[in-house]
C-alpha cells in the first residue's frame, strides 16, 4: 500500500495534484491539506465514485481544507464528540 501526504497549495493552485499522485505515483491513500474538494481535482468520468472514495472538510472560511482519498475503498467522516475544529491530515 502506498500512502502519500501533500500540502496542495504549497505545490501551486492548479487542480492537477490529486490525479498526478494517484495515477503517476500509484498512491492508494492520499491525505491532502490546503486542498479543494474532490470534484475540483478528479475528472468525474475517470473517477465516478470519488464522492464515496473521499472525505473533505473546509478549514474555517478559507475555501480550502483537508481531504482523504482512497483508491479502492470508501471513506466517510467520523464525528468526534466535543471537538470544535477540524483535523488536518
Question: What pLDDT, in 10s, does the model give residues 39-85?
Answer: 999 999 999 999 999 999 888 787 888 899 999 999 988 878 887 66
* Residue 59: alpha-carbon gap to chain centroid: 13
**Nearest-angstrom CA–CA distance, 71 and 3:** 10
Tell me the pTM: 0.84
Tell me the longest C-alpha to C-alpha distance in the chain: 39
Each domain of the chain, given as residue ranges in start order, spans 3-70
- pLDDT band of residue 2 (cuts 50, 70, 90) is very high
Amino acid at each position: 500500500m502506498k500512502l502519500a501526504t501533500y500540502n496542495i497549495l504549497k505545490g501551486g493552485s492548479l487542480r492537477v495534484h490529486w490525479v498526478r499522485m494517484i495515477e503517476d505515483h500509484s498512491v492508494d491513500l492520499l491525505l491532502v491539506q490546503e486542498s479543494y474538494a474532490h470534484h475540483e481535482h478528479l475528472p468525474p468520468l475517470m473517477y465516478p465514485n470519488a464522492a464515496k472514495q473521499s472525505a473533505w472538510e473546509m478549514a474555517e472560511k478559507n475555501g480550502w481544507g483537508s481531504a482523504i482519498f482512497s483508491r479502492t475503498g470508501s471513506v466517510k467522516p467520523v464525528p468526534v464528540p466535543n471537538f470544535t475544529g477540524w483535523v488536518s491530515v
